Amino acid sequence: MNNTEIFEKKMKAGKGKLIVGLILIVVCLFNELSFYMVMKGIKDDPVAFEDVEKVGEYTCVDAISVSDGFADYGTDTSTSYSAYYILDEDNFYIAGMNKSKFKEFDALIDYYTEGEEDDEMPDPVPVCGITETVPTNLRKYGVEYYNKLFPENKITYADFDANFKYFINTNRGPEEDFAISSMVAGIFLLAGAIVLGLYFRDVHKTKKTLTKYANEMDKIKMEVGSPETIYEPKARIFITNERIINVANGLEIYEFKDIVWIYPHELRQNGYTTQRSIYIVTSDTKAHLVANINTSKKNNLMFDEIYESLLLRMPDALHGYTQENKNKIKEMSKKK
């Protein structure tokens, strides 16, 4: 493929960023929907407590009674809880609940403490959460409080371990995993949006350049096809005898007669140069990046050749990044 053919191909904004951006967004939304459906399925079909076999399972108990809290955990209002015994139609369980969850038992507590014989019993309170292993100190407080509630039927630590292997932490639920997945999805969604934004920026830049040079495009193609024109695919730059054509991110054309300053720039990390770039400043005192190359022995030679070629074609422009050149551009800017 000759330079003219390459140039004509590069005149159209590449679809790579569009495809990558769309893939990121579609995959992100698909994964988010999948996680949501999994979470919804878990919430709609919790594991029966008697079938719980490990920590981390989502379970629900329809409680008809609750004890006072007998142990407090945490200081953060979003994660702290108190431990309570709860009762369904058949068994006792231990649940970790915050104050707002405990308040849901107000109707049942009033029924037991102030209700009349013919009062209808309020609906059970669904107590749902993630199963956790009973902490050691909760085990101690649990035995003491149980024996205080039922002095006639005291239990030992062995009894407690047999009946209360897990407790229900109502501060936790499948939403936790969904929230984490949403955060990750949000990052990828943002990345996809950024890549799409870059694609549309390139499209806009290309259209703007093509409109500006519509009457000169045949001439520019002839220049590009000249044997004197340099094309460096790694830098994605054409250097003709009259202009720089940068096709790295959309189509940009800069005529040598409009360039007032050219200088190299190096990006360093941990004391090592990782990238080398070439900037130009046009007569409107705006800076433009026209070449950006990762460093290597071969790339460094190529970079030096590109820079020297540009210097030879712009003998009247300011060369190199110096304070003197910087001040001259500042003065030029003041005159605008």
Encoded tokens for 141? 């407080």
What is the DSSP code string of 262-321?
Answer: EEEEEEEETTEEEEEEEEEEETTS-EEEEEEEE--HHHHHHHHHHHHHHHHH-TTSEES-
Helix, coil or strand: residue 168: strand
Across the range 116-142, mean pLDDT stands at 88
Tell me how far apart the alpha carbons of residues 282 and 290 are, in angstroms, rounded to a whole number.
12
| Cβ atoms 48, 59 nearer than 8 A | yes
Across the range 319-326, mean pLDDT stands at 92
* CA neighbor of 128 nearest in space, from 171, 68, 84, 72: 171
Tell me how far apart the alpha carbons of residues 131 and 133 are, in angstroms, rounded to a whole number.
7
Tell me how far apart the alpha carbons of residues 228 and 245 are, in angstroms, rounded to a whole number.
14
Percent of the chain with pLDDT over 90: 46
pLDDT in tens, 287-299: 999 999 998 989 9
Cβ neighbors of 303 (< 8 A, separation 6 or more) are 235, 264, 276, 278, 291, 293
pLDDT of 280 reads 95
Dihedral (Cα; 115, 117, 118, 121), 10-degree rounding: 50
Cα separation values, 225 from 283, 308, 313, Å: 27, 21, 18
pLDDT in tens, 222-278: 998 999 999 998 999 999 999 999 998 889 999 999 999 999 999 988 888 899 999
pLDDT of 30 reads 84
CA atoms within 13 A on the CB side of 317: 23
Residue type, 77: T
pLDDT of 39 reads 80
pLDDT of 20 reads 87
Tell me how far apart the alpha carbons of residues 5 and 225 are, in angstroms, rounded to a whole number.
9
Q: Which residue has the tokens 């920590």?
A: 55
Confidence class for position 84, pLDDT limits 50, 70, 90: very high
* CA neighbor of 310 nearest in space, from 225, 234, 244, 232: 244
Tell me how far apart the alpha carbons of residues 158 and 170 are, in angstroms, rounded to a whole number.
25
Cβ neighbors of 114 (< 8 A, separation 6 or more) are none
Residue 83 has pLDDT above 80, yes or no: yes
pLDDT of 53 reads 87
pLDDT in tens, 40-70: 888 888 998 988 889 989 999 999 999 999 9
Across the range 188-201, mean pLDDT stands at 89
Confidence class for position 77, pLDDT limits 50, 70, 90: low
Confidence class for position 314, pLDDT limits 50, 70, 90: very high
pTM above 0.75, yes or no: no
pLDDT of 174 reads 83
Helix, coil or strand: residue 75: coil
Please name each of the domains of the chain with its CATH number: 1-212 (no CATH), 215-334 (2.30.29)
| Cβ atoms 70, 145 nearer than 8 A | yes
pLDDT of 258 reads 93
CA 63 to chain centre: 40
Cα separation values, 332 from 286, 290, 336, Å: 11, 22, 7
* CA neighbor of 168 nearest in space, from 103, 105, 100, 97: 97
pLDDT in tens, 195-212: 999 889 888 888 999 899
